Amino acid sequence: MSLPVVRAENLGKTYGNFQALKGISFTIKTGQCFGFLGHNGAGKTTTMRMIYGMSTVEEGRLWLFEQPIRLTPPAIKGRLGVVPQEDNLDDDLSVIENLAVYGGVYGLTCTQALARGKELLGFMGLEDKEHSSIESLSGGLKRRLVIARALMSRPELVILDEPTTGLDPQARHLVWQKLRSLKAEGVTLILTTHYMEEAVQLCDQLVIMHEGIILAEGSPRELIERCVLPFVIEVHLPLAQVPAGLEARVGAWGGEAIKVVDGLFLYAADGEALWSRLEEWGLSKQVCLLRPANLEDVFLKLTGMGKEE
Ligand SMILES: Nc1ncnc2c1ncn2[C@@H]1O[C@H](COP(=O)(O)OP(=O)(O)OP(=O)(O)O)[C@@H](O)[C@H]1O
């Protein structure tokens, strides 16, 4: 059985009178890719900062590598790699220097740090950027460099706070591919994300966070099976044009309707049966789309809020 790498019990955080985290509990096992999915302000970064030792544990308890901690001690820090939300690279140093300096922090000699840095530039597909300045890198290349930097100490656990926010789809897919290779090597990954697809693509286990609490936990597939009916019809219609009483009719029929920004989503156990009812309920099929339920539907159902980019 794989051991817990991180365990939290009733973890809380209060800033002044504001409770940013309201007592959350979770266990992350060795080798997992564990995701924290939530909108802005859900408490994801607050949780990550406590795990990687930038914020003290004052409410609840946190164990890292089975040791109870208040503030991650230096001895443990070498076992963690951190990709913070902001790309905090040193603009006065070149790409390889950014890595080498970081290696020094973890006790590597200059030669070792340069060798490890070059190895990681190769791994992240940045070998031709070795002597480039930081300001010449695109957002996607900077993100790859920050990930390379997090790997300098050969960490067992890598914490990634929104690793692909702001990247274009191609850059995002490249980062996903690298994270999958790390996972295949046995590295445990913790990531926060706003992107449902990222969570589905990478995470074995997920928590859905909202306003400082965990609303649900499971694999992406389990969450979809557990939280929503399996078929959805998206009705793209201004809410003012939705036939009166539609939600009640769908409910009485055995389905469920949820309002979204540009219309309604109708859920049912049998998609075809739902589709066959649309005209009877006053809806034109022209504005409707039938699809299987996904993680976005789970998020919408649990938080009442749609997708955020
Ligand atoms: N140092 C602080 N002082 C006061 N409030 C804070 C502080 N840090 C975070 N907060 C508040 O705590 C809440 C949770 O913030 P946190 O950054 O953990 O959310 P998040 O889920 O990571 O959001 P995002 O996706 O925007 O990064 C927010 O309402 C935020 O404004």
Domain spans, the chain: 4-224, 229-292
* Shortest-distance Cα residue to atom 2 of ligand 1: 15
| 294: enclosing H helix or E strand | none
- CATH of region 229-292, choose from 3.40.50, 2.60.40, 1.20.1280, 3.30.70: 3.30.70
ipTM: 0.96
- CATH of region 4-224, choose from 3.40.980.20, 3.40.50.300, 3.30.70.360, 3.40.50.1820: 3.40.50.300
Please give the model's pTM, rounded to 2 decimal places.
0.90
pLDDT of residue 132: 97
Ligand 1 in reach of 280 Cβ (< 6 A): no
Nearest 10 degrees: CA dihedral of 32, 55, 217, 193? -70
Using the mean position of ligand 1's atoms as its centre, give its distance from the Cα of residue 116 in Å: 34
Using the mean position of ligand 1's atoms as its centre, give its distance from the Cα of residue 277 in Å: 44
Please list, residue by residue across 160-179, b when 16 or more beta carbons sit within 10 angstroms of its beta carbon and e when fewer do: bbbbbbebeeebbebbbebb
Using the mean position of ligand 1's atoms as its centre, give its distance from the Cα of residue 256 in Å: 33
Ligand 1 in reach of 51 Cβ (< 6 A): no
**Alpha carbons 134 and 156: distance in angstroms, whole number:** 27
Using the mean position of ligand 1's atoms as its centre, give its distance from the Cα of residue 8 in Å: 19
pLDDT of residue 261: 84
pLDDT of residue 194: 87
Ligand 1 in reach of 41 Cβ (< 6 A): yes
Contact indicator for 140, 174 with CB cutoff of 8 Å: yes
* Shortest-distance Cα residue to atom 8 of ligand 1: 46
Same fold, 4-224 and 229-292: no
Using the mean position of ligand 1's atoms as its centre, give its distance from the Cα of residue 214 in Å: 15
Regions of the chain where pLDDT drops below 70: 1, 305-309
